[in-house]
Every structure is written in structure tokens, then in C-alpha cells.
Structure 1
């Protein structure tokens, strides 16, 4: 009745179909029996035969398959705003490794402007396909946040803050901006501008707040700010406006690395050199920063730790603990490269 030992000798993974073939039933029946589906109607002898065969063959459900199977999915869904944004790869990696350490997998979903996206996402949990949601989308008025179904589902907000939710897992974004300003100030810069993100996004507001507060603390003008989308074009256009309105600016803080790439393009188009005429520093650190011209000074953030903290927060909820806000303790650090230097008047 049972499979021969050749497959096992070769070390091949025993599949669901192998158990089904040996028992003379379908894959669906085996899956539902092994997942203790209470709605399946099979004879006790058949159920026992399936359980014994699975044990004898050494069948272990593949984690990805279990995530799609239903009962006890041992999978988490991570909603991110943009799959093309390299910053999220670090958060994803931290989440994936921590989840794997606990026997879970992480499924990715990209945010869309579809108003039904929130309902679809909650259904992943309600149908048993995932055990909890990690929501990293910063889109304002996201339909998922307003869904009454969300309150009954284990979830956390990652790298964004939903006021009063008690489920926010984040980093000290304001501190990152303050760190950037202090670095430029220590180099001698006194006229510092900022390329900010859209003000309808909470992370952009937090970074801008940190910049403004630190500039005021140092007695500097905190209002040299232009907003733009979190991408290269947004950085280029905001930097162009900033340099035209304030030609005396000697340093620029960009609130994403992508914006900084656009800012560097705008600086060159303005006929300026970096860092001889203008220094640039960016929030976020990625390997790309080493290969720009000049290599870009950045603020290193604990993105891997953030992903891991989000997983641990959701696992705590699954273990029956009440949700709570969490700020990753690791502080931002300056990764100094060649794009920042003393301003011309200090040399």
C-alpha cells in the first residue's frame, strides 16, 4: 500500500499527492484530514489510514502550501506600498528571517488604490490563509484602516503610525532627521534645506518635524523646505525649487534615498558640484549609496530590526497578549561618504 523506499532514499520531500496515492483518496481529502477540517465526512478507518500513512512516509506540509491551505496557516501577510522601493527589501528581509525562526512564512502584497484592497486583505485572515497582517502602507485614509473587520484580526502597523491604534511598530523618524541636521551643522553648514515627502503621509510629517525642531534648537532657519513625492522625480523637482528660492543653501537633507538621487541630478543641472558647492545627506542607507557620484552620505536606519520587531509584535498577539506600540531601540547613525563636507566659507 505504501510508497517504495526509493523516493525516501533519494531524500525527496514527500508530497501531499504521495500520501493521497498510497491511501487511494484525493489530495483534497488528505489535506482536509491533516488540517483537522471539521466539515469533512470520511470514515474513521479512512481518516486513520491517512494519518498513519502520513506519519510513516514522514510527510511534512511545506510552509508555503500550508499558508494556502487554511487551518493553522503559520503565515503572515505583509502589505507594502511599493514593491519597487528598495528600502522595503530590508524590512521584508528582517520580517522573513524572524518569521522563519518561529516557523512562519511571510507573504507579500503590494498596496493599490483599489478601495476593495482592504477587504481582500482582511479576508486572507478570515479564511485562514494567513494568521495576521503586517501593514506597512502609508497611504492616508486607507480603506483597510477604516474596515470594521480589522479590529477582530491580529495586525500591526509597520513604519507608519495610526493614532490611537496601540499597534504601531516604528522607528524614531524625527531623531533621524535631527541626526542629519547635526551632522551638517558640525561640518559648518548654517543654511540647510530639506527635500521633504508629501505632507499627507505620516512618515513624511515625522521626518519634517525632526528637521524643523533640530534647526530651531540650533538657531537656524527651519523653513527652507520643499515637498515632493518619495521618488527620484520628486527629489529633482523639489531640489530645483529649493535652489532657485534659496541660492545661498549650502546643504540639503533629502527624506529618502530616491529623492536624494533626484536632488543630485538637480544640483548638477544647476551647475553646482558636490560637495564643493553643496552637500547632500539622505535618510535611509542602501548599498546603492556607495556607487553614486559622489558616494552619498546617509542616515542608517534599523530596517532589518524593524521587520523583525513587527513579526514579534504580531506573534505576541497570536499568543494572546494585548497589542502595544513599539519603537525599535536602535538609534539612527550617520554613514559618512563623500557627498558631505565643509561649506565653501569654512575652507
Structure 2
């Protein structure tokens, strides 16, 4: 093998080509292509494979996406973008996506959409440069630059748990039914004043859940249904619960009778609401009943164990991978709603007003 060429001192850097790797490694272009694409049906010595990879890395060689497409090459990798790894909801979704991807012969990579990250460029580059075959996007807030970039892109992609209107590639759950399930339970226990801890403004699933909450509460004839918004975190849930339970302390005028129950949009918010209830000297469920959205194992180990509305998070991840792999294989895309309905997981955090079960 010859010594690696020195990079140009001035001018525009020249992108390393397949022929450059072949020349430096002392093998044919066909051998380089097959080695870098992971072909195992070649009679190539291990040391030759290692040399090809070393040269490619030293030269900074990256396969051209157009060449990959013409060759019909596939990385058999998918990338999943989530808004926050700290949110356990997305851990369950990611697990479903990862396992389904493995069943279909793909690897699922995970990325977090940090505030200020140039996600439209970084995430799209994964596909444009041939490093992944498609994108699973769970972070698609209104105005996100990634959405506009994907409208101009041919990269296969789907949106999950974040419907983008008109995209025709949304994979979602029946989040409206979650509010109906929670309210039916609380109404059946005798609660007529129920507060809702909603998610941040501008998040579509949160908006749908809130609208369904208000609509169904009106259908049930509830006397008070105040709503407070907060992040999908323990801190967000605590602040929103204090706003609903002690409006005077937060400078919010009281309206209607005090609530006897709370319905939180996420498990993390519900945990924060538990702390808020106790900070006011109130008890769960004797004074305030509490229902959390999403069911994860930790809910059963809280004090008291938390009543939740279980969402088909795992199924959402698998359905999104099915839809994306179908698109990669040329199948027509369409919106998908996971058929599994939300279900109530009854524990000890809810009771009739006054504390009787």
C-alpha cells in the first residue's frame, strides 16, 4: 500500500472518492465498494478488509448518497428522533421501534432533539449521506425546521406521536380516547370538578387531549374543568397542580368550586402533582384523586400506587417502523392510527370525593 496522500494545502477540500480508497488500499473499486457495504460473500482476507476500512477512515471517505441509490445499497439502519430522552414515554416507544426494526433486519438509532440543535440539517444528513435508510420523527412541534426540510426531501420518513397536518405519514394513537377514559372513571366515582394538567402550548397530542377533556366534561355535565399547562416533567406537573389547587398562591383568580380530582397528561406530571398535593397538606385520594396518562412500571410503586390510562406506546413504536419500512420498500404511505385503545389501570390514587372507594 502506498503512503496516504497529503491533503491539499489551499483551495476547496476535495471529497475522497471510491477510486482514491481503492488506489491507496491497493485493491479494485469493486472490492472497496463491497467491503464498505458490509458484503460477507467475498473471498477477501481479513487483513485486506481491515486495510480498506483504515484507508477509508484516514481519507474521510463517505459513500455518496446518489451512488448508493444507483447501486441499490442499503444501510439497514433507521434513525429515531425524540424530543426528550428524560421522558420515559419515549423510552417505551423507542423499545418497540428497536425490537420491530430488529425483526425486519434493521438497526434503530436514537437521537435527542436538543433545543437549538440544527436538527433539520443534522438529521437529514443521516439519510442524504447514506448512513440510514429512513427517519422516524417523534419531535415535530409546529414550526420545527425539520418539517419544512422534509417537505422538500425524498428521504423516507414518518411522524409518530406528533401528527403533521397534510403529511399523510402520521402514526398516532387515540389520545382523545385517553381523556374520555380518565373522565369516565372519575365521573363514575362521583367527581364533578376535575382539573386537567395539560402539556405545553403548541404540542398537537396535548391539544387533542385537552380538547377531548373539555368536550367530554361538558357532555357529562361537570361543574368545573379548569386547565393548567406545564412541561411533561415532574416540575411542570407540580407547578400546574399548584395552579389548579391553590390559584390564589399563583396569582390566578379562582373560578368555580375547588377541584376534587386531577388528570395529568403524563406520568412525570402526575408524580409532580403528587408532591404539589402533599405540599398543600392534602391527601391522595382522600382529598384529591389523581389519574396519570401513560402507564409505566414505576406507577405501581408510588405512594399511593397511581391510577393511570395505559397508552399503546410499544405498539406505536412497532407500527411506525412497519410504516417506514413499507415506505422504504416503495409502498404508498398513509396515516396510521394504532388500533389498541387506551385502558384504565386502576390503583389506589383515586376514590370517591371524601376518600371512600
TM-score (norm 1): 0.81
Q: 1:125 to 1:237 in 2, by over 3 A?
A: same
Runs of 4+ in 1 over 6 A off after TM superposition: none
**2:113 aligned residue:** 111
**1:96 aligned residue:** 98
Q: Could you tell me how far apart the structure 2 residues matched to 1:303 and 1:221 are?
A: 32
The Cα of 1:248 is off from its aligned counterpart by 2.2
Report SS of the residue matched to 2:130: coil
Pairs aligned (count): 303
The Cα of 1:256 is off from its aligned counterpart by 0.6
Comparing 116-125 with 149-158, which one deviates more in the overlay?
A: 149-158
**2:43 aligned residue:** 52
Q: Could you tell me how far apart the structure 1 residues matched to 2:295 and 2:32 are?
A: 44
Of 270, 276, 281, which residue of structure 1 is paired with 2:291? 281
**2:219 aligned residue:** 217
1:327 aligns with 2:337: yes
Of 150, 153, 157, which residue of structure 2 is paired with 1:151? 153
Q: 1:223 to 1:53 in 2, by over 3 A?
A: same
**2:251 aligned residue:** none
**1:302 aligned residue:** 312
Q: What's the C-alpha RMSD, in Å, of the aligned pairs?
A: 2.7
1:318 aligns with 2:319: no
For each residue in 1:101-132, what CA deviation from the matched residue of structure 2 results, as whole angstroms up to 9, or x when unmatched?
Answer: 01000011110233522111111111110000
Q: Could you tell me how far apart the structure 2 residues matched to 1:80 and 1:311 are?
A: 14
Whether the 8 Å contact between 1:81 and 1:139 is mirrored in structure 2 is no
Comparing 149-158 with 188-197, which one deviates more in the overlay?
A: 149-158
Q: Could you tell me how far apart the structure 1 residues matched to 2:87 and 2:150 are?
A: 30
**2:5 aligned residue:** none
Q: Could you tell me how far apart the structure 2 residues matched to 1:102 and 1:204 are?
A: 32
Comparing 117-126 with 243-252, which one deviates more in the overlay?
A: 243-252
Q: 1:183 to 1:52 in 2, by over 3 A?
A: same
Q: Could you tell me how far apart the structure 1 residues matched to 2:194 and 2:174 are?
A: 21
1:162 aligns with 2:164: yes
The Cα of 1:318 is off from its aligned counterpart by 1.0
Q: Could you tell me how far apart the structure 1 residues matched to 2:223 and 2:323 are?
A: 39
Comparing 143-152 with 270-279, which one deviates more in the overlay?
A: 143-152
Report SS of the residue matched to 1:280: strand
Q: 1:31 to 1:176 in 2, by over 3 A?
A: farther
Whether the 8 Å contact between 1:216 and 1:222 is mirrored in structure 2 is no
The Cα of 1:139 is off from its aligned counterpart by 2.9
The Cα of 1:30 is off from its aligned counterpart by 5.0
Q: Could you tell me how far apart the structure 2 residues matched to 1:315 and 1:280 are?
A: 40
Q: Could you tell me how far apart the structure 2 residues matched to 1:299 and 1:236 are?
A: 19
**1:18 aligned residue:** none
TM-score (norm 2): 0.79
For each residue in 1:240-295, what CA deviation from the matched residue of structure 2 results, as whole angstroms up to 9, or x when unmatched?
Answer: 11012356211100111111111110100111001011100010111111111111
Q: 1:346 to 1:190 in 2, by over 3 A?
A: farther
1:201 aligns with 2:203: yes
Whether the 8 Å contact between 1:138 and 1:202 is mirrored in structure 2 is no
Q: Could you tell me how far apart the structure 2 residues matched to 1:227 and 1:77 are?
A: 30
**1:269 aligned residue:** 279
**2:55 aligned residue:** none
The Cα of 1:222 is off from its aligned counterpart by 5.7
**1:6 aligned residue:** none
Comparing 220-229 with 88-97, which one deviates more in the overlay?
A: 220-229
Stretches of structure 2 that go unaligned for 5 or more consecutive residues are 1-24, 47-61, 248-253
For each residue in 1:283-311, what CA deviation from the matched residue of structure 2 results, as whole angstroms up to 9, or x when unmatched?
Answer: 01111111111111000011110000000
Of 115, 130, 133, which residue of structure 1 is paired with 2:132? 130
Report SS of the residue matched to 1:226: strand
Q: 1:315 to 1:345 in 2, by over 3 A?
A: closer
Q: 1:104 to 1:148 in 2, by over 3 A?
A: closer
Report SS of the residue matched to 1:152: coil
**1:249 aligned residue:** 259
